Structure 1
Amino acid sequence: MDFDNYIINIGRNAKAASRIMVTVSTTMKNNALLHMAESLIDNKETIIKANNKDMESGKKNNLSTAMLDRLMINQERIEKMAEGLRNVSTLPDPIGEGVKRWKRPNDLDISMVRVPLGVIGMIYESRPNVTVDAAALCIKAGNSIILRGGSEAINTNMALAKVIIKATTTVGLPYGCIQLIEMVDRELVNKLVKLNDYVDVIIPRGGKGLKKAIIANATVPVIETGSGICHIYVDSDADLKMAEEIIVNAKTQRPGVCNAVETVLVHKDIAREFLPKLSKRLCGLGVEIRICEKGLEIIEDSKVAVEEDWATEYLDLILSIKVVSTIEDAIDHIFKYGTKHSEAIITNNYTNSQKFLREVDASCVYVNASTRFTDGAEFGFGAEIGISNQKLHARGPMGLEQLTTTKYLIYGDGQVRK
């Protein structure tokens, strides 16, 4: 196989399609999204059958329970994908939106409007729903997308891509606006991230190793979606029942996702009252607790936490706990070990809540709510293409607006610069 020609042809198709996507009407884009949703439901048995192959391979390859959960597709998840497509179709089209407009003293009329990014290369692992979510957002924002999922989900991704590509071309969208790299050789990833002539931006979504490799090798600009070492700080003025419910939700509702909590920080003044109840609840749900030495004096049958635990995104039913003396200690710990994803404080103290909101550096900072809400759909974006931890262009859940850039339109009447 000639990898160079294979990936260049995909790039050319995407670039050609992107020129047409700029001109596609909102009505046509919405029709495509609705037809994609309908086609997913109509082809659910074929998709689930393909997913069963991937699940069997995953079990043989000893994928973790969390990874298998990410990989699994059933009727309920297909219906949620379809619902996400319908939701995106109802959102305002960002393309052509006027951001601002002003007039200069020389009568130049300048406006800033939203335009598509162009061609997006999406590289992701495990979660086949990303195939649909990413394609939906890119279509609505007028982009072309090149999808490259992980080898563990290749059969599912091929089945999903076949369905949504047929749906989009049926309603008149250009061939090449959605493409899937169907070969799992990693060399194709290295070539995609250097395809500057055809790709405008790369968005990686997956484990730390994947993102590190892409950032190190890419010559195409990268929007980094980050790992989630998320913290919940239980303040001395917290409602302890609320704190317990939030932590249980953030750890156990779906432990294999990036917005699940990995470390809980507990103020020393409420540790003896709170930790035994929290530990009993979590252990009953199968959570392994790794706790600092101070905490070990309270929960003696737990495993002691080591330095590596504070810097680990478990993506599993494991939780590290640290007793801290002050809110400043909690913020310092988050500054050292956090990944700028999602952080939360549980407190009834307004001053402390505002201090936490102001001083914690993360894309999403919560007061008295679960970190599990860091999600494009939960934020009202319809879906998301990823959660950006970086500070340039896009930060937090990336919806339609984050998949656009801006262009200046300048109207003159013969002005020349003196």
Structure 2
Amino acid sequence: MTYGFDTLQIHAGARPDPATGARQTPIYQTTAYVFRDADHAAALFNLQEVGYIYSRLTNPTVSVLQERVATLEGGAGAVCCSSGHAAQILALFPLMGPGCNVVVSTRLYGGSITQFSQTIRRFGWSAKFVDFDDLAAIEAAIDPGTRAIFCESIANPGGYITDLDAVAAISDKAGLPLIVDNTSATPYLCRPIEHGATLVVHSMTKYLTGNGTVTGGVVVDSGRFDWSASGKFPSLSEPESAYHGLKFHETFGPLAFTFHGIAIGLRDLGMTLNPQAAHYTLMGIETLSLRMARHVENAVRIATWLESHPAVEAVTYAGLPSSPWHDRMARICPKGAGGLFTVTLKGGYDACIRLVDRLELFSHVANLGDTRSLVIHSASTTHRQLTPEQQTAAGAAPNVVRFSIGIEDADDIIADLEQALAQIGI
């Protein structure tokens, strides 16, 4: 039987606990698991049997979360890890090698820009930053060393929506995997695999959990990429010496990337998601569609109100008819443009700081996707490490404030904005 999204967000991956009948997924707070016998242990370590060995690799609570997110995204499998940044490294790990590069969008979260422009160089990898509205520039950036293309479905902070169909056509032509960060959209608003993505990553810290309690990341594998076609991905297509010459793609087919992510990625990088965090995220996902619908409803109303305010120069939000990406939203994110947008103030940097300091209902935090409304001045915080040119390209210029609109009463959110704007002296 085929179930709808609202049903799957509650039931996918979860079954009553066989030992106790518990309806909610238990927190399996254990490090290790007892093997039935020596043959069972050997089969698990040889990847001949699926099961639990050690919680750095697999855990029953985490396994339910992996299956649930994979189901909601329409993927073949998923690997959970400790954060969204961990998910990005885990996604690239089987694909890259010294001298290889990834083509990435200029419109990314500031921490991701730093990770791609600075940190991955320590592995001998590099990134080429391109405006993803310039499709010819994406194609031109691809060279023999390119191993992936990376973008966000709805970019943080600016709310820019990527034309995933067009970018996927380029990645397919080049024989490269397309990796899409779907954090801001969630699978309720956008399912990148349906638009040609190979891998989908999330910071589950944000909308999937939705309550600001834990950090977590996930990589969802579409199961549709031929890792053996080009010879560019030997970690997946060639014999793996640590498993007696096993070839992941030949052995596991559509689940090759997922098994590699667990058996080698988590084994050696150790970026494990703890079971309590997985439990919180599972509970959050149960209300994902309800929350996202309210986030969108509130964001549209508040962005519309702000757009007409005399202190506001511009609002960047694809949910507004004035947005250059409004038509794209209907195709990529048909249920709405999410709850994240930016506001450009006429008073510049100083006005942004004064606004942030005078808001009362909004929480000034370095997070997004919470049930609470959140605000931050990206140029002085999350994007502070970037050059002014990088800040502007990412949608985080000095005169821009980022809002993550919560699910409170919209009238109360507007009243808080009204009183704060009245104080900043524009």
The answer, yes or no, to whether TM exceeds 0.5 is no
TM-score by length of 2: 0.27
Query: Is the radius of gyration larger for structure 1 or structure 2?
Result: 1
Q: In proportion to residue count, which structure has more strand? A: 1
